Structure 1
Amino acid sequence: MADGAPAERRGYPRATGSERGLARRRELLDRIADDVAAHGLGDFSLRRAARVAGTTHKVLLYHFDSVESLLAEVVRQLRERRIDRGLAAAAARERQGGRTLAERIRAIWPALLVAESQVLDQAIGLSMVDPARYADLGRGASQQYLPSLVALCPPHWSERRKVEVAEMVLATLRGFLIDRRVSESTDGVAAGFAALARALDREEADDPGMDTK
């Protein structure tokens, strides 16, 4: 990673919140996110990002604070794409008759394995090995994923119960992703999903109706 000095120290003005400025910012971010999804974070830098976006590093520093800020926005963008696909898959499964939480969670799994999966794993790795610069990459993951997992829970559950189950599912899916990355076999993930499905089915079966705890 390079070119990390904040925009203010380089003397570049911050982007305004005008509609035109925000549209340009989104356009640049989309281009850079597409490149990162395809090629990973190994040689990510402000100058590389400017090249793939068809602009200059000065223009990027007009729209983003620093290379770390840009990276955080790119990672957030890729997570949003993953979340959108996951929710679409869960909705499609429900339309096909998948009524249980376990079925909806299983439906989103393929959406977690698309092109940006490796990049998002790399981002979590950066947050662990260099937390001084990249801690937000890890913290931001839970903040983005949890609301969608909460939304998949039965609507009559209490908010506390939804969050508890969503936290369990998020931690479990993260474990599956790590196992898939480091293991030569998918048997562990298959067995884990079977156990997760049983746990979620029991959670739904233990359902007295309107939950107010």
Structure 2
Amino acid sequence: MEAADGPAERGYRRSAGSPRGEARRQDLLERVTDDLAVNGLVDFSLRRAARAAGTTHKVLLYHFDGAEDLLRQAVARLRERRIGNALTAIAGDTGHPTLADRVRAVWRTLTEEEAGLRRVLDQAIGLSMYDPARYNELSREASQLYLPLLESFCPPDWPPGRKLEVAEMILATLRGFLLERLAIGDSAGVDAGFRALVRALEREDAAG
């Protein structure tokens, strides 16, 4: 990824407090997010984002605090789309789905989601590993978004500490599986590992 264009230039500020300004900011963010999903993180810059949004980099600096802020918000928007897909899949389950059932449904959405979305979110995790001082927030914010969702899959009578432990296990394991598929392409190995995860979750369910 190209070096960020730096913090907002003097004289520019993020729009705030104005419904019209916020609507404009959201529209720009959506356009940049769509571009990111198609073209990935490589060579991302404020000027590329401006071209995608049909505006100038100075307009973006009025609404965002520089390229890294815009990238962070666009990645978060893509993660929200992933969560929306997962919730839709779970909503389609009938009866009384277990924790393992819900994780199976989520895994289907992850393996079937559009390649661009999956690639960008995998790249975001890779960036945070490559340069944690600069991009660690990309991983931290992923956990902040995903963990509450995964905790909600757990039986409601479980204590909060147990829900968090199991959610952390699921998140770390699924993240590792996705990176393994991307880097190695070992779908058979990942599928076997996922079946082992499901068995572990079924044991958690049975333990009550």
> What range describes the TM-score normalised by the shorter chain of this pair?
over 0.9
Aligned to 1:199: 200
Structure 2 spans left out of the alignment, 5+ residues:
none
Q: How much is the aligned-residue C-alpha RMSD, in angstroms?
A: 1.4
Q: What are the superposed Cα offsets for residues 94-153 of structure 1, whole Å, 9 maximum, x if unpaired? A: x2x462111110111132242311101111111122222211111111111101101111
The answer (yes or no) to whether the contact 1:179–1:188 under 8 Å persists in 2 is no
User: Residue 158 of structure 1: CA displacement?
Assistant: 1.2
Mapping of residues 86-97 of structure 1, within 5 Å: 86-93=86-93, 95=94, 97=95
The answer (yes or no) to whether the contact 1:14–1:65 under 8 Å persists in 2 is yes
SS where residue 105 of structure 1 aligns?
helix
Alignment partners' CA distance in 1, 2:135 and 2:7: 14
Alignment partners' CA distance in 2, 1:5 and 1:39: 21
Alignment partners' CA distance in 2, 1:87 and 1:173: 16
Q: Normalised by the size of structure 1, how large is the TM-score? A: 0.91
Residues 1:185 and 2:177 aligned together: no
Aligned to 1:102: 100
Q: Which residue type is aligned with residue 43 of structure 2?
A: D
The answer (yes or no) to whether the contact 1:29–1:74 under 8 Å persists in 2 is yes
Alignment partners' CA distance in 2, 1:65 and 1:124: 22
Alignment partners' CA distance in 2, 1:58 and 1:33: 18
Structure 1 spans left out of the alignment, 5+ residues:
208-213
Q: Which residue type is aligned with residue 90 of structure 1?
A: I
The answer (yes or no) to whether the contact 2:99–2:155 under 8 Å persists in 1 is yes
Mapping of residues 37-52 of structure 1, within 5 Å: 37-52=37-52
The answer (yes or no) to whether the contact 2:100–2:202 under 8 Å persists in 1 is yes
Q: Normalised by the size of structure 2, how large is the TM-score? A: 0.93
Residues 1:32 and 2:32 aligned together: yes
SS where residue 10 of structure 1 aligns?
coil
Identity of aligned residues (%): 60
